[in-house]
Chain A
Amino acid sequence: MADFLLELRCEEIPARMQAGARAELEKLFRRELEAAGVKHDNLRIWSTPRRLALIAYDLPAATEAVSEEAKGPPEGAPDAAIDGFCKKAGVTRDQLELRDVKGRMTYFAVVATPGRPMAEVLAAAIPAIIRDFSWPKSMRWGAASITTDSLRWVRPLSGIVALLDGAVLDVEVGGIRSGRETMGHRFHHSGSIAIESAHTYEGQLLNARVIVKHTKREALIRQGAEEVAAAAGLKLVADEGLVIENAGLTENPVPLLGRFDEAFLDVPPEVIQLTARVNQKYFVCEDSQGKLANAFVCTANIAPLDPAVVVDGNRKVLAARLSDARFFWEQDQKTPLAVHAEKLSRITFHEKLGTVADKVERVAKLARWLVESDIVTPAKAGASGGSDHTPKVPASAGMTKEKLADMAEQAARLCKADLVTEMVGEFPELQGLMGGYYAAKEGLPQEVAEAIRDHYKPVGQGDDVPTAPVTVAVSLADKLDTLMCFFAINEKPTGSKDPFALRRAALAVIRLVLENGLRFSVDATFETMTDVIAMGRRDDEGQARRDELDALLLNEIASGSAGLHWFILDRLKVQQRDAGVRHDLIDAVVTKDDDLVRLLARVHALQAFVTTEDGANLLAGYKRAANILKKEGYEGPAGTPDPEVLSSLKEGNDTIPDTGEEDPLAMVDDPDVGDILAAEARDNPSLSYTPEPAEQALIDALDSAAPRAAQAVREERFADAMAALATLRAPIDRFFEEVTVNAEEADKRAARLALLARFRDAVHRVADFSRIEG
C-alpha cells in the first residue's frame, strides 16, 4: 500500500473558485484511477489561495494483472480467418494456443496484461489531470505564451509536488518539473520547504505558517470572529458565505475587530452590512439588543506586528465606503420617489416590452384591478396566510376597498422607483428595501412603504410570503404581468434556460394565492387582465408608442397565454410534490378547476380518500367499469348527451374547457349536466326486466350518492363528496360479483352498461379517476 501527495501550487486562486477546483481535482483523479482499474476510496482534497492538494492513502503498489482470452477459429480453418483473428486479438500466430472444445481443436488467444506500477500510472495521470482541468476562467502566461497552445491555468501555475511514499514522481507539465519543494506562507516564511511525504505535508506546511486544510481555516475564522466580537461585548452576525470567502483569501487567517464612527449608524443597517460585506469582506456585529453595532471584523492573512495598525487601515477604508453610502442615502432622499419614478422611462425592461415605466403602468392598473374585482380584499389577505407568524391585527385592518385600491395603485406606481436611486445603483441587491426606506422617510403610509419594500417577495423557496393586502396586490400584479408579457412574446423557459426567472415568478404567484387564500380562476383572470392592460392611460407622453406596444401584447396574449395556464399548473405540481402531494391526483382534477385554492382542497380530499381501503376499492371498481365500457365500445343510450347537446350546454356555460377530449363524457364535469343525465335516467326507468338485487342496490346507491356528491362539490365540501363516493364501494363490488353485464338479452346488457356508465360519470364528476395511478 502506498500514499500519494499531489500539490499544484499557483498564484492566488479566486476564493469563489476553490470549492469547484477541489471537486474538479477529485473528479479527474478518480477518472484516472478508474481508467487504470484501481478501486480506491481514501482521498483528501484541500485548498488554499496558493495551492490545491490531494492526498490518496493506501493505493495499491501496482494495478492488477489482467488476463483476457478470446476464442478463435477451429484448427484447419483457412489462413485468412486465422490471421484475421490474430490481428483482432493483437497476437502473432505462434502465440495462439490450441484447446479441445467439445472434441474439436480450437485456437485461443491469451492476452495477459501485467499490472502496472502505481508510480507509472500516477506519472501519466498528473499531466492528464492538469491539462484537462476545467476552470471557470483560465489564462496563459510567461514566455511560453508566445503561442496560444501553451498551458492554461486559473493563474500562473508555479510548482508541482508529486510524492509516492515519499519518493518524487518525475513529471513535467507546461515546463514545470515536479519535485518535493514548495513554498510556505508568503510573508511569514522565506525559502522553500522540502516535503518528505504525504504524511508530513500538513505538519510541514503548518510549521511554515500555512493551514492547508480549508475546513480548519473556516473553523478558525468562524470561532475567531465570534471570539473577538464577544471580547468587545458584541455578537457576531454569522455569515457562512463570508467565512468561506475569507478562508479562500488567506493561508493564515487572523480575525481582527475594529470600530467605525457611530455617526454612520444613521444609514440603514442593511446598507452598512452590505458595504462591509461586498466591498471589504468584513463581518458586522450586533449589540445585546440585536441592533447593528459600530464594529467590523476583518480577516488578515498575517499575524501583524501591531494589529492596531492593520485594523486602523481597514477602518479608514470602511469609513470612506460608508461616507459614500451616507452620501447616496442623503442624496436619494432629496428627490421624492414619484420624481425618481419618472426616470424609469429611460430604462428598458425588455426590448419588446418597452421600458420599466411601461411595466409600472401595467402593474399599477393590475394591482388596482385585483382589489376592485375582490381577488385581494382587506379581509382576505393576511387572514389565512402566514400561519407560522404570530397572529397580529394587520395595519390595514378595517380598510375600505376603495382605500386599499388607491394604496395598491400608489405603491405599484412607486415600487420600481428605487432602481434609479444612487444607492440601488451601487447595491442592486437593496432594490425594494431602499424604496421602502425612502417611502417611509417621505411620510408615505406605512402600508405603501411596506408594499414597496416587500413587493419582490417571495423570492426563494424559503422566503416569507407577503400577507399585507397592499403588498399582496402589488406583488401579485408584478408577477402576473411578468408572466403574461413574456409568454406573450414567446419567451418561455425551455429546459434549464429560464433567463427571465418565469418559473420563480409562477411559483411566487402560487404561493401568494395559496397562503393568502386568494380565489380566482386563472384562465378567466388572464383574459380579464388583458382588458385591464388595454384601459386608458393617464398621460399622453409616448401614447402612440405605448398603444402600439399594448396592441402587440394583447394580440400575442390572445394566442400565447393558453400555455401560461398549464405552465402555472405545472409549477404547482412541482411545488406540491415537495409537500407530498401526488402529481397524478393533481392531474385528476386540473381539467375540473383552475381556481388554485379549490383545486388543492379537492386534491387533498382526494389523496385522503384514495389511500383508504374504500378509496382503493372504488378506484378498482371504477377502472373495471371503465374498461368494460371501453371494451364494449359503449356509446350510450338516450340519456347520454350527444355532442350537440353538449355544445349547446357549453354555449351557456363556458367553464367547460375545450380540451379536445375524445370521450364526450369526460367533459361532463359540470354538476348541472350530470344532474340532467341523472334526471333523464330517473324519468326514463324503462327497464324491461326485473333487476337483480345487486343491480337494484347499485341503482339505489347511485340515486342517493350522485346528487350528494355533486352537491358537496358545488359547496366545496370535498371530503363530503368523497364520503358520498365511498357509499358506492360496496354496491359496485357486489354488482361485479353477482351480476353478469354481458347478458345474453340485449336489453339487459344495454341497461347494465348504461348503469356502469352512470356509475363512472358520478365518480368522474368528483375527479377524473382514470388519471389516478394504481
Chain B
Amino acid sequence: MSATPLFTPPARDPARSFQDMILTLHDFWSAHAGCIILQPYDMRMGAGTFHTATTLRALGPEPWNAAFVQPCRRPTDGRYGENPNRLQHYYQYQVILKPSPSDIQELYLKSLAAIGIDPLAHDIRFVEDDWESPTLGAWGLGWEVWCDGMEVTQFTYFQQMGGFDCKPVAGELTYGLERLAMYIQGVDNVYDLAFNSAGVSYGEVFLENERQMSKWNFEVANTEALFDLFAKAEAECRNALAADVPIAAYEQAVEASHVFNLLQARGVISVQERASYMGRVRDLARSSCEAYAEKMTPEWQAKYPGWSLV
C-alpha cells in the first residue's frame, strides 16, 4: 500500500526567501552526487569545517557525500546588530564530496543557477584562494568564487587533514548564506532579508539575539568561568583520548576552541598568551584527528586492501 502524500510542498522562491534558498540547496544537493542532508552539529563552532561530517569524514578511504547548514559563532565579529553585514552568529552551507567528482565545478554552478544566479547576467569567477587551518592540521587548494566581485563561496580541495594526506581528496564547498541571500534578494542590510515568503525578516529573527549576544560576548561573560571551562574541556579531551573515544575528544577540542574565542572577545588574553592558547587548541584538535584516524585505520584497511594512513 503506498500512501498518497497528504502534502505537496509549494514551489520554492529562493530569490525572495532566505529559507527557500536553503531548502533549494537541500533539494539540489540531495538530488545530486548522492548527498545525505545532515542537520547542524549541536555545538558552538566557528566554521562549518569543524563539523565532524567535514573534518573526521575527510579522513580515510570511504566515499562520503554530505550537505548541511552549520550555524557559526565568531564572538569577535559581533557588532551589537549595528553593522549591516557583520554578525557574531550566521549560517554556512557546507557540501563535502569525497572523492571530489570530476564535474564538481559544474555541479556547483548549477546549484547557483538553482537559487537564481544566472551566469550570463552575473559575472562568476574562480579566484585563487588557498585554505589552511593550522588548528586542524589541514590545508587545501582552491578558490574563492566571486559573483560580481563579491565572494560567495569558498571552494577547496582538501589535501591534508589532521596532519594526514587526504586519500582520496575531498572537495569542500562553503556558501556564505546571508551574503548570498543579500545578493539574490538585492538588500544592503542583512536584517532586511526576507526570512520567508510570509513577511518575516532576518532582523525579526536575529536582531535582538545579536544585540544581547554581542553584549555577553564582549562585556558580560564571566571570564573566570571561561578560563575554567577551557581547562575542563582540555582535561576532558585528554580523558577521552586516553579512553580511546576520539570523537568525544574532538568535541572537547571544538569546545575549547570556542571558549578560547570567547576569551579573546573579552580581551583577557594577552598577545603573548594568545599563541600559547592557540597551540593548546591545535594540539587537542590534531591529537583527536590523529587518534580517530588511527582507530579507524584497521577497518578502512579491511575494506580497502592496500590503503595506508601515511
Q: Does A141 contact B149, Cβ atoms closer than 8 Å?
A: no
The contact string, 1 if C-beta is below 8 Å from chain B, for chain A 126-152, is 000000000001011111111110000
User: Nearest chain A CB to B270's CB is how many angstroms away?
Assistant: 8
Q: Which of B22-30, B33-41, B123-131 contacts A (4 or more CB under 8 A)?
A: B123-131
Asked if residues A320 and B120 are in contact (CB atoms below 8 Å), the reply is no
Is the beta-carbon distance between B123 and A302 smaller than 8 angstroms? yes
| Contact of A142 with B169 in the complex, beta carbons under 8 Å | yes
Further contacts, 16 of them, CB under 8 A, given A144-B168, A313-B149: A12-B125, A12-B128, A139-B157, A142-B100, A145-B99, A145-B100, A146-B307, A156-B102, A187-B119, A298-B123, A302-B119, A313-B123, A314-B148, A314-B149, A320-B85, A346-B271
- Interchain CB contact under 8 A, A139 and B120: no
Q: How far is the CA of A140 from the CA of B123 in the complex (A)?
A: 28
Q: Is the CB of A140 within 8 A of B159?
A: yes
Residue among A14, A186, A313, A320 with the most chain B CB within 10 A?
A: A313
Chain B nearest CB: distance from A419 CB in Å? 14
* Given known A-B contacts A137-B141, A139-B157, A249-B127, A158 and B122 have beta carbons under 8 A apart: no
Contacts of A673 in B (CB 8 A): none
State in angstroms the CA–CA spacing of A49 and B125 once bound together: 10
Q: A313 to chain B: which residues have CB within 8 Å?
A: 122-123, 147-150, 183
Does A708 interact with chain B (Cβ within 8 Å)?
Answer: no
> In the complex, what residues of B have CB within 8 A of residue A49's CB?
126
Question: Interface 1/0s, chain A 289-325, versus B by CB < 8 A?
Answer: 0000000001011101110011011101110100000
List A contacts of B167 (CB < 8 A): 145-148
Is A82 an interface residue when CB atoms closer than 8 A count as contact?
Answer: no
Asked if residues B130 and A137 are in contact (CB atoms below 8 Å), the reply is yes
Q: How many A-B residue pairs have CB under 8 A?
A: 115
Taken together as a complex, chains A and B put the C-alpha atoms of A143 and B126 apart, in Å, by 23
Asked if B148 contacts A310 (CB within 8 A), the reply is yes
Q: Decide if B165 touches A148 in the complex (CB within 8 Å).
A: yes
Decide yes or no whether A716 CB sits under 8 A from chain B: no
For chain B, residues 96 to 151, give those with C-beta under 8 angstroms from any C-beta of chain A: 99-102, 105, 109, 118-128, 130, 140-143, 147-150
Expressed in whole angstroms, the Cα–Cα distance for A156 and B167 within the complex equals 15
Task: State how many angstroms separate the Cβ of A506 from the closest Cβ of chain B.
Answer: 32
Q: With A156-B100, A158-B102, A305-B120 in contact, is A316–B159 under 8 Å at CB?
A: no
Check if A304 sits within 8 Å of B102, measured CB to CB. Answer: no
Our pick among B143, B149, B188 for the contact of A12 (Cβ within 8 Å) is B143
Alpha-carbon gap, A316 to B118, bound state (A): 19
Contact flags (1/0) for B146-178 with A, using CB distance below 8 Å?
A: 011110000001010000011111010000000
Q: Are B169 and A145 in contact (CB under 8 A)?
A: yes
CB-based nearest B residue for A258: B149
Interface members, chain A 1-28 (any B CB < 8 Å): 11-12, 14-16
Q: By the criterion CB–CB under 8 Å, are B148 and A317 in contact?
A: yes
A210 to chain B, nearest CB (A): 15
- Give how many B residues have a beta carbon under 8 Å from the other chain's beta carbons: 41
Q: List 8 A-B contacts (CB under 8 A).
A: A11-B126, A12-B125, A142-B101, A142-B102, A156-B157, A304-B122, A310-B123, A317-B149
Q: B78 an interface residue at 8 Å Cβ cutoff?
A: no
Complex formed: what's the CA distance from A145 to B160 in Å?
Answer: 12
Closest B residue to A148 by beta carbon equals B165
Minimal Cβ-Cβ distance residue in A for B109: A186
Q: Which of B101, B102, B169, B183 makes the CB contact (< 8 A) with A140?
A: B169
Judge whether A340 is part of the interface by a CB distance below 8 angstroms.
no
Complex Cα–Cα for A145 and B99 (A): 8
Q: Tell me whether A199 is interfacial, beta carbon within 8 Å.
A: no
Residues 253-289 of A at the B interface (beta carbon under 8 Å): 280, 282
Whether, in the assembled complex, A39 has its beta carbon less than 8 Å from a beta carbon of chain B, the answer is no
A438-462: which residues lie under 8 A (CB-CB) from chain B?
Answer: none
Nearest residue, chain A, Cβ from B272:
A346
Q: Which residues of A contact B128 (CB under 8 A)?
A: 12, 14-16
Is the pair A249, B122 in contact by a Cβ cutoff of 8 Å?
no
Q: A349 to chain B: closest CB distance in Å?
A: 15
Given A11-B105, A300-B123, A304-B122, verify A139-B159 contact (CB < 8 Å): yes
For residue A623, CB closer than 8 A to chain B, the reply is no
Of the residues A12, A148, A312, A314, contact of B126 by C-beta under 8 Å: A12
Say yes or no for B48: interface residue by CB 8 A criterion: no
Give the distance in Å from the alpha carbon of A146 to the alpha carbon of B125 in the complex.
Answer: 29
Please name all residues of chain B whose beta carbon is closer than 8 Å to the beta carbon of A346 when the two chains form the complex. 271
A173 to B148, CA, bound (A): 36
CA distance A242 to B140 in the complex (A): 26
B105 and A305 form a contact (CB under 8 A): no
Q: Are A143 and B168 in contact (CB under 8 A)?
A: yes
Interface flags, A713-731, vs B, CB<8A=1, else 0: 0000000000000000000
**Are A317 and B150 in contact, CB atoms less than 8 angstroms apart?**
yes
Which B residues touch A282, using CB under 8 A?
149
User: At the interface, yes or no: A537 with Cβ under 8 Å from chain B?
Assistant: no
Contacts of A158 in B (CB 8 A): 102
Q: What 1/0 flags go to A186-205 for Cβ under 8 Å of B?
A: 11100000000000000000
Which of B105, B125, B171 gathers most chain A CB within 10 Å?
B125
Give the most central of B141, B304, B307: most A CB within 10 Å: B141
User: Which residues of B are found within 8 Å of A213, using beta-carbon distances?
Assistant: none
- Give the chain A neighbours of B166 by CB distance below 8 A: 140, 145
Chain A positions 83 through 103: 1 when the CB is less than 8 Å from some CB of chain B, otherwise 0: 000000000000000000000
Q: In the bound complex, do residue A146 and residue B168 qualify as a contact, i.e. CB atoms below 8 Å apart?
A: yes
**Does chain B have a CB within 8 A of A748?**
no
Within 8 A of A (CB), among B164-215: 165-169, 171, 183, 188
Q: Does A582 contact B (CB under 8 A)?
A: no
* Closest Cβ–Cβ distance, residue A241 to chain B (whole Å): 15
- Chain B nearest CB, measured from A328 CB (Å): 14
**B224-275 contacts to A (CB < 8 Å):** 271
Which residues from B are CB-within-8-Å of A146? 61, 99, 167-168, 304, 307
Chain A residues positioned under 8 Å from B149 (CB to CB)? 280, 282, 298, 313-314, 317-318
Chain A contacts with B in 385-405, Cβ cutoff 8 A: none
A155 within 8 A of B: yes
How far does the Cβ of B151 sit from chain A's closest Cβ, in whole Å?
8
**Which positions 158-175 of chain A face chain B at CB distance < 8 Å?**
158
Contacts of B99 in A (CB 8 A): 141-143, 145-146
**B119 CB contacts on chain A under 8 angstroms:** 186-187, 302
Closest A residue, CB atoms, query B307: A146
Nearest residue, chain B, Cβ from A311: B148
Which 4 pairs of residues, A with B, have the shortest CB-CB distance? A313-B148, A14-B128, A12-B126, A314-B149
By the criterion CB–CB under 8 Å, are B85 and A249 in contact? no
The answer, among A15, A304, A317, for a CB contact under 8 Å with B121, is A304
Q: Could you say which of A140, A143, A316 contacts B150, with CB atoms under 8 Å apart?
A: A316
Cβ B101 vs Cβ A302 within 8 A: no
Cα–Cα, bound, A309→B150 (Å): 13
Using an 8 Å CB-CB cutoff, how does the interface string of B68-108 with A read, 1 for contact, 0 for none? 00000000000000000100000000000001111001000
Decide: A301 near B120, CB < 8 A? Known: A140-B159, A280-B149.
no
Q: Which residues of B contact A309 (CB under 8 A)?
A: 121-122, 148
CB distance from B65 to the nearest CB of A (A): 13
Specify the chain B residue showing the minimal Cβ separation from A346: B271
Please, which residue of chain B has its CB at the minimum distance from the CB of A15? B128
> How far, in whole Å, are A280 and B148 apart by their CA atoms in the complex?
10
What residues of A have a CB within 8 angstroms of the CB of B130 in the complex?
137
Chain A hits for B171, CB < 8 A: 141
Residues of chain B within 8 A of A141, CB atoms compared: 99-100, 157, 169, 171
For residue B126, which residue of chain A has the nearest CB?
A: A12
Q: By the criterion CB–CB under 8 Å, are B304 and A301 in contact?
A: no
| Nearest CB in chain A: distance from B227 CB, A | 22
Q: A681: shortest Cβ distance to chain B, in Å?
A: 71
What's the nearest-Cβ distance from chain A to residue B60, in Å? 10
A49 and B183 alpha carbons, distance in the complex (Å) = 26
A188→B123 CA distance, assembly (Å): 11
A211 to chain B, nearest CB (A): 16
Q: Which of B99, B126, B147 has the most CB of A within 10 A?
A: B126
Asked whether B122 lies within 8 Å of A139 as measured between CB atoms, the reply is: no
Find the B residue at minimum CB distance from A299: B123
